[in-house]
Each structure stands twice: as structure tokens, then as C-alpha cells.
Amino acid sequence: MDMRAIAMGVAFAFIWASAFSATRIVVVAVPPLTALVLRFTLSGVIGVGLALAMGQRWRLSRSEWRSLIVFGLCQNALYLGANWIGMQWVEASAAAIIASMMPLLVAGSGWLFRAERLRPVAAAGLVIGLGGVALVMGARLEDGLHLGGVLILLFGVLALTVATLAARGAGGGDNVVMVVGLQMLVGAAALVPPALLLEWGQPAVCSPPVVAGFVFSVLFPGLLATWIWLLLVRRIGAVRAATFHFLSPVFGVAIAALLLGERFGVVDIIGAAIVAAGILMVQLSRMPPAAR
């Protein structure tokens, strides 16, 4: 793995983790699905416009279109829809810890549903990582963490797991920016009906921090992070790229503490480190020895 790939992976993990704090700022003031439809629409229009300006087109194969739609529905509509709804009641740091379960769930689903053999290190990492999540969530629940919000976030991370399994076919060849934009538009279209049904007439408070958080979510997690991720998968493969998810729980907890003043206790630090270690063990076990 070269230095450029490492820089891309760290940048992706940081931007991905920072999205939780930006989302928290937005969803406590604005109906979440309505805001998400607007975010996806803006990100999609910008992405498609940039792609057309770069000479990219939407001439994709049938399998690429299928993967793109699955990825757009599962990651954008289901995962982020559930994430934005749940974060009305759940802190950004807790949401980051829950979302960081995705690499662990990917490994576990391969073992359960595809009969993939788990190496001892991977099995240990899976247990350790889930134990770290349980440690943090147990302490937060004792302090009054909203159980309903947690369940919504857990549903979202399951959808994110499916989206990750579909990501390999969603690269779009040389049309990466076009694929990113189209995925956003798929998510926007899927969320319009529930947004109209559930949030019609709800008030919204548009303060400068809310606007700043929304703009950040459009440009950085919405476009830049997804673009970096797809390029990284093409450069080093999905398994190696997913290794960088081990940074997300640490980044997520730290950013939420610095930006939002959320709790940053000893249990959170230990739990985030345990989750990170579990993710790293799982991902490294999937690589050939030379690549580790």
C-alpha cells in the first residue's frame, strides 16, 4: 500500500467520522428526511454536473446500474435515512461507534451466509470489536441513551453492510464522479415519499451553525468522501480500503467531543480503542501476509 493510498484512507475516515457531528447539528433543528432529500439532490446535481464537465457519461453496464441502485438505496436512503432519524435522539459520538460496526458485520455476514472461513485472528477481532461497542453502549444506556434511537441506528448499519457488499460493482469504471452523483439522486428519489408523509409541515430552524453543518454534509461526506472511497477501492481493493474504518470510532468520538462538547470519558476512550482494534484485526486477517 503506497503513501497516496494511506493518505486517501485516512482522509476518508476523518471526513466520514466528521459527518456524524455535522449531522447532529442539522437534525436537532430541521426535519431529518427533508434535509436529507435536499442534501442528496444538491450533491447529486453537483456530482452529475462535474462529471459531465469532465466528459463522463452514464453509459454503464446492466450490472453496474444494478449495483449503483442497490448502493444508492442501501447506503444513502436506508443507512443515512435511519442515521439522520436516529441522531435526533442519539449523540454523534454514539452514532459513530454504532456505524463503525459495519466492517465487523461484513465479516460476520460472510461467515454466516457465505460459509466463508474466519481465521482465528478475525474471529477474535469480531468478538473484541463487538465487545467494545457493547461496552460503550452499555455505559451510555445507563446514562439515559435513547434506546429507540439506537435501534434505528442499528437498522441503518445493517443497510450500510449490504451497501458495502455491493460497492465492488458500483465503481463505474472511468465514470466515478458520475456514479457518485447518480447514487445521490437515487437516495433523494427514494426518500421523497417518506419525507412528505412523515414530515410535511414540521418547523425548521435555520441558524448559521445549521446551515454550515448542512453545507459541509453536502460537499464533504456527500461528495468528497464517497469519491475518495470509490477511488480507494479501485486503487487497493475493497478489503484493504475497508481497513481504514478502524480509524472511524476514534475520529468520531474525538470530533464530537471537540466540536459539540459531547462526553469523552474513560469508558468512551477505552471502548473506541477496543472497537478500532477489533476492526483492524478483522481487516488485516483478510489480507495476504505480504500486504499486512
State the average pLDDT for the chain.
85
Torsion of CA 164, 168, 173, 178, to 10 degrees: -20
* Stretch among 6-10, 119-123, 254-258 having the lowest mean pLDDT: 119-123
Does 283 have pLDDT greater than 80? Answer: no
pLDDT digit string, tens, across residues 229-273: 878 877 877 667 777 878 888 899 999 999 999 877 888 889 889
| Cα distance between residue 263 and residue 269, in whole Å | 10
The reported pTM is 0.85
Tell me if 216 sits within 8 A of 17, measured CB to CB.
no
Tell me if 196 sits within 8 A of 9, measured CB to CB.
no
**Phi, psi angle pair for 55, to nearest 5°:** 85, 10
Centre a 10 Å sphere on the Cβ of residue 291 and count the other Cβ atoms it contains.
Answer: 13
DSSP calls for 7-56: HHHHHHHHHHHHHHHHHHHHHTTS-HHHHHHHHHHHHHHHHHHHHHHTT-
Instruction: Give the burial class of 187: count Cβ atoms within 10 A of its Cβ; 0-12 exposed, 13-18 middle, 19 or more buried.
Output: buried
* Residue 122 pLDDT level (bands cut at 50, 70, 90): confident
pLDDT digit string, tens, across residues 44-55: 999 899 889 988
Does 172 have pLDDT greater than 70? Answer: no
Hunting for cell 444513502 — which residue is that? 76
* Residue 255, CB-side half-sphere exposure with 13 Å CA sphere: 24
CA–CA distance from 283 to each of 164, 246, 287 (Å)?
A: 14, 9, 7
